[in-house]
Each structure stands twice: as C-alpha cells, then as structure tokens.
Amino acid sequence: MKYTDIATKTVEELRAMLKEKKLELFTLKAKQKTMQLTNTSELRVAKKDIARIKTAITAAAK
C-alpha cells in the first residue's frame, strides 16, 4: 500500500482501514506466537501500513 493511494481517502475510510489493519496485525502476532506464521515480513508490512494510515489521518485533520 502506498501513501498516494491512502491520501485521497476520507477520514472515515482511513479510520476503517486502520481498524482492519490493527486487527490484521493482532492476528499475525497471534499466529507468530503459535508458530503458524511462515512469512514474518508480513508483520513489518502491516506495521508500516498502520503508520502510513495514521500519517494520512493526521494530515487530513490539519
């Protein structure tokens, strides 16, 4: 996911995306703890996506 794709969305859409990504990160962490996660780079990607969404929300608030 790129920032340019996120920047065009409304704040409500961004908050919904943020909620989905946080849930995804939670499930990925649970899978990692139970040794079911094979691709650990998904954790890093999810965290970066969350940061991008938070940045877009902050930029839209100004």
Q: How far apart are CA 25 and CA 12, in angstroms?
A: 20
Question: To the nearest 5 percent, what fractions of the chain are helix, strand and coil?
Answer: 80, 0, 20
Residue 55 is predicted with a pLDDT of 95
- DSSP code, position 8: T
Taking the domains of the chain in order of start, what are their residue ranges?
3-61
**pLDDT value, residue 1:** 82
> Which DSSP state fits 38?
S
Q: What is the pLDDT of residue 22?
A: 98
The pLDDT score that the predictor gives to residue 18 is 97
What local confidence, expressed as pLDDT, does residue 45 receive?
96
Class (C level, CATH) for 3-61: mainly alpha
pLDDT at position 29 is 96
**Residue 26: per-residue pLDDT:** 97
CA distance 55 to 6: 10
- Residues of the chain where predicted confidence (pLDDT) is lower than 70: none
DSSP SS3 for 39: coil
